[in-house]
Structure formats: structure tokens, C-alpha cells
Amino acid sequence: MNTIILAVLIMTGLSLLRVPVVIALVISALVGGLHAGMPVNDIITAFNGGLGSGAVVALASATLGAFAVALSRTGIADLVAARTLRLIGAGEDATRMRFVKWGIYGALVVIGFSADTIVPIHIAFIPMLIPPLLGLMNMMKLDRRIIACVLTFSIVIPYMITPVGFGAIFLNDILTQNVNEAGAGLGLEVSYGMAPKAMLIPALGMVAGLLVAVFFSYRKPRDYRQVEYHQPAMGGNDEQQDKAGSLSGLQLMVLAAAVVGALTVQVLTGSMVLGGLLGFSLLSINGLFKWKEQDDVFTQGMRLMAFIGFVMIAASGFAGVMKATGSIPDLVAGASSLIGNSPGMAALMMLVVGLFITMGIGSSFSTVPIIAAIFVPMALSFGFSPMATIALVGTAGALGDAGSPASDSTLGPTAGLNVDGQHDHIRDSVIPTFVHYNIPLILFGWIAALVL
């Protein structure tokens, strides 16, 4: 068995057995390295060497977590939840309940889209916004698996089709650039404008998966127990809760300046860390928490995103070992032997191979450079057009974000939905998103490769 397939299967199996994802990644990397014949010392060296690339993401997550906690101290999330509850009313009228349910779905999609494009905080909005709404969701008996699917959709679809914010990084700096680099000696050159168009058909697969999840898979009511708790991640006390609905005009201006400033700095510098730090600094002077409480708020933000950060670091170590084994070209060669001369079969096998590669690493941003170097020459040899080549590489990358245990697109929803211990990461986030997004992505990515 190929080392990549073995390692991914072990990681997935351990995760299904409720082994923590970080431990599952470490064990699967060790087993994969041993299977490839690597000495233990070389495995450890490769794993440690890969950790560095995840450290940047972890630091950005911690900084954005601090920004999210500071935003929560302004009372905005509590204000949204309270006004939504008042909208429903004590009678829980069925028509109003349906209105609010669809309002929640739509709002989460809009907010998630904005968090990847307009306000570049990515998944940091989830643990800030979702916990205050859990009581409302419990009362409405909403299946949280729908919310997980909606959230994953909202933070994956923007970078697939919109060249703004994280989308500019993925479509321009990663996808287009790596396709050009891989095709430089083969006469292939693509432009920035081609990538969003090439990804439109695969993105329709995400839309189809979301519609199936919302209208069919999880439409039945699901009971959750009401848990009275204060949000430890947010750290708000009673006095701050009382201030939630009394934001002054100056405080609202500071809040707006923090959001706009974070966006501007991120766009100008390309650093989410600097953007998050500026936003946190501006919010720290808004008067809703004392200057001496800054360290506590920042620490809470780091704690909020610590799990995600450690998983991303471990995933980078896993990726380092998989690269060191040299098994990725072998995986592609093995798939090629089954293809024959059929372009349709070639496209399908490339997407399936991409699924195994990205499932283990868990990040489209990290795996596109690996996939592009292998897939671009292969796609050109089968006569695929430049647009089809972009679609194949981009879709294969997106597969890792849409349903991997190590992806921040599944870790983020779990962080917000499991604050009361009633949402399992694997069964309630990973499996639903894998079924509803990875399968349609493969189908629609295959269609894109054949028609573009």
C-alpha cells in the first residue's frame, strides 16, 4: 500500500476512534515514515522541519483569536443574540421560527464570506458569534451539523471564486503562480483572471452539497440539552454583559476603525498577524475593558484558538514527513497505471489522488504547490486546456479544506459549536462536510476538467 494512503487511513481511523487529532497526526506520520523505510531519527527530523510552516498559521490564529475576544467584549455578539430572541418572541410562532432559521443560515454565509474577503479574520468570527446563539439554536432544535456545513461552506467558497482577501492569496499567489511555475518549461502560462472562472464549476459542487445538507440530510429537529454557562473563551463578566446594549457612539466608531484598520493593514502588508494586532490594540482603548485587563483578554484569545493552532502545526509536521518519504510521485504513478489513454479517467484519478494528499495535510494553501508540480505536466500530457488544468489543481486543493479532520474549515465550526460539549468534531463536523462537499467537489471538478 502507498505510504500516503496508509497514513491518511490511519489518521482518519484514529480520529473516528476519538483519538485527539494532534495525536492521530503524529502517530500516522510515524507509521507512514516507518512504512516508507525511513529511520526514526529521519522521521523526527522531517516532522520537526515541517512544523515551521504551521507556526505562522498558529500565530495568526492566536492573534485573530485575541481580536475576536476583544470584539466579544464590546457586546456585539450578545446584542445580536438578544435581538434575535426578541424577534422570535415568547410564543415561538412557527412562521417566525422558520424566518429566523433561514435568517441564521443566510447571515452565517454572509458573515463567513465577509470574514474571508472584507474583514480578513477567517474563522476567528466563529467562536465569537456562535456560542451566544447556541441557546437559541437549542430552543429551535436546529441540527448543529447543518450549522457546521453552513460555516464550512461560508469560509471555503469565498477563496475558491473571489480574488479578494484570502481569495487573492489562494487564486493569485498560490494557484495561478504555482500552475505557471509547473508549466513554465511546458509552454503553459495562465493569467490571474482565469483562476476564478475555472473554479466556478467546482464551486457549484459546494453549493449543491449545501442545498442537500439543508433541505434533506439534517432538516429534522435534533434535541440538545440546555446548558447554562458563561462563555469562558470570551471571558465576559456580568458587568460587561450589562454594557452589551449600551455602546456609545465613540465606542462604535472605535469598533468600526478596528475592523477597517485590521482589513487595511492585512491588505497592505499581507500579514494577518499585524492586522489582528492593530484591531486588538484599537479595541483595547474603547473603554469596555480596562487597560490592565489586556493581558488577560489576549491570553483568552490565544487559548480560544490554541487547539486549531496545534492541529495546524501538527498537520505541517505530517506534511513534512509525507514529502520526505517520496511517496507522492509513487501515488501518482500508481494512479497513472490505471488510467490508460482516457482523459476522463485521468481527471477522476487526479482528483482522487488529490483527495488523499490534501486530507492528510488539511490545507489547500499548503498542498497546491505539491499538487501543481505533479498534476500540471500530467494534465498537459492528456491534452487538458489551461482552464481545465487550473480547475483540476484548484479542486484537488479545496478537497482538503472541505472535509479533513486537520482543516481549519472544520476545526473552526467545532470550536464554536462544541463549547457545551454536545458537538463531536469527527462525527458532527468532519463526516457531514466530507460527505456533502468532497463528493460533489470531485464530481463537479471532474465535469469542469472535461468541459473547460
Which DSSP symbol is given to 175?
I
Q: Tell me how far apart the alpha carbons of residues 271 and 317 are, in angstroms, rounded to a whole number.
A: 22
| Residue 279 pLDDT class (50, 70, 90 cuts) | confident
Question: Distance (Å, rounded) from C-alpha 349 to C-alpha 334?
Answer: 10
Q: What are 318-371's pLDDT values in tens digits?
A: 777 877 887 766 766 666 666 667 788 888 888 887 787 777 666 666 677 777
Q: At what angle do helices 40-73 and 126-140 cross, to 10 degrees?
A: 70
Structure-block grid coordinates of residue 270? 499581507
Q: Are 388 and 449 contacting, i.e. CB atoms less than 8 angstroms apart?
A: yes
Among 448, 440, 441, smallest CA distance to 344 is for: 448
For residues 432 and 410, what is the distance between their CA atoms, to the nearest angstrom?
Answer: 10
Q: Where are the beta strands (DSSP E) in 303-437?
A: none
- Averaged pLDDT, 242-254: 63
Contact 363, 402 (CB under 8 A): no
pLDDT band at 81 (very low <50, low <70, confident <90, very high): low
CA distance 193 to 182: 18
Average pLDDT value for residue range 228-236: 45
345-349, 385-389, 416-420: least confident range: 416-420
Residue type, 380: L
pLDDT at position 435, please? 92
Output 237 or 267, whichever has higher pLDDT. 267
How many CA atoms lie within 13 Å of 169's alpha carbon, on the beta-carbon side?
17
Give the chain's radius of gyration (CA, Å): 22
Q: What is the pLDDT of residues 441-450, one digit of tens each?
A: 999 999 999 9
pTM: 0.73
Nearest to 438 by CA among 407, 415, 408, 404: 404
Length of the chain: 452
Given a cut of 90, is residue 83 above it in pLDDT? no
The single residue listed with the C-alpha cell 494553501 is 365
Strand, coil or helix: what is 36? coil
The amino acid that residue 385 corresponds to is: S
What gap in Å lies between CA 370 and CA 328, rounded to an integer? Answer: 9
DSSP 8-state class, residue 215: I
For the cut 60, the answer to whether the pLDDT of residue 245 exceeds it is no
Is the Cβ–Cβ distance between 3 and 32 less than 8 Å? Answer: yes
Q: Which residue has the higher pLDDT, 189 or 209?
A: 209
144 SS3 class: helix
pLDDT at 163 exceeding the cut of 50 = yes
Which residue would you say has higher pLDDT here, 92 or 368?
Answer: 368
Question: For the stretch 71-86, what's the b/e string if a residue is b when 16 or more beta carbons lie within 10 angstroms of its beta carbon?
Answer: bbbbbbbbebbbebbe
* CB atoms closer than 10 angstroms to residue 51: 18
pLDDT at 229 over 50: no
Higher-confidence residue of 48 and 132: namely 48
- Please report the pLDDT score of residue 240 as a whole number: 44
Quote the mean pLDDT of the chain: 77
CA 424 – CA 59 distance, rounded (Å): 25
Amino acid, res. 33: G
pLDDT band at 168 (very low <50, low <70, confident <90, very high): confident
- CA distance readout (Å), 452 to 201, 279, 447: 9, 42, 8
